[in-house]
Structure 1
Amino acid sequence: MRGVAMDGTALQQVARAQAEELPAAKMTLPFGPDYDVAKVLGKMFLLLTEVKGTPVAVVKAEPRDAEALRGAHPEITPGYHMNKRHWITLSPGGLEAEFVRELVTDSYLLVVETLPRARRPVDPQTFLAAEGGTGTSSTDGPAT
């Protein structure tokens, strides 16, 4: 999804703000002050750090979606210091803020799905509908 170029600081601000809005999500510093991590009930879904001096955001993605997103967006690369199949790095450039918010939410929901049902802060199957949102499609950004 092409949009107004966001610098790394803006990218991280958008990702952080979205993470902080999600139920039961908390920002933590488990790896030191250079790595802000958003977790839901102790499980990571967002990493904010710098790669070669550039602020980036790292989120979880379904392997097929991760591959398609990397192919469609030069700002999306394999997850920095993470499993390259399941994580993607969002770098500054042409990604729209709304698309970044959706990728953070999708990452959160992937993690929530792995939690025992009784501990889930939301139902991953109905959360987006209840919020009035749509998920992301593999390459196009917001579904219409």
Structure 2
Amino acid sequence: MRETIRARGHENVSAAHGSTFEVTTDDFLTPAGDCILGIEADRAPADFDSEFVAACRDADAVVTATFAAGDHEETVTGRGHPDLTFDSDRSAVGRTSDYVDDRTVLVGAEFAAEGFDRELVAALADGAELTVTLTVEHDD
């Protein structure tokens, strides 16, 4: 199963955060938002299909986020968690930790914003269009 979010970069995209990455529906980004990779997202976790959400609530679920902008692509793998709510109507956040709030779409990510390919980050800082594809599978 998959969900797709379309967003765009912003001049303040720095991807410097060490434990999270985020895409937001907000139409602005301050330099303090160092985990944010895209703004003006067309969807948020609250918009996701209920079957996708249920699949992500399985502790054995493998959740993958693929970020594509122009010729650049980065994939981050994490896992699901029983406490995921997908209630946020504003932001989707991936975390390297097990912390869960209404914005969390995956936990245990293999890396955070600071680990993203710098060419992808540069493209986003130039305002590139961003497509984020979230997929969920079960590790049987």
Q: Which structure's relative contact order is higher, taking Cα pairs within 8 Å and 6+ residues apart?
A: 2
Q: Same fold (TM over 0.5)?
A: no
Using structure 1 for the length normalisation, give the TM-score: 0.26
| Structure with the higher fraction of residues in strand conformation | 2
Using structure 2 for the length normalisation, give the TM-score: 0.26
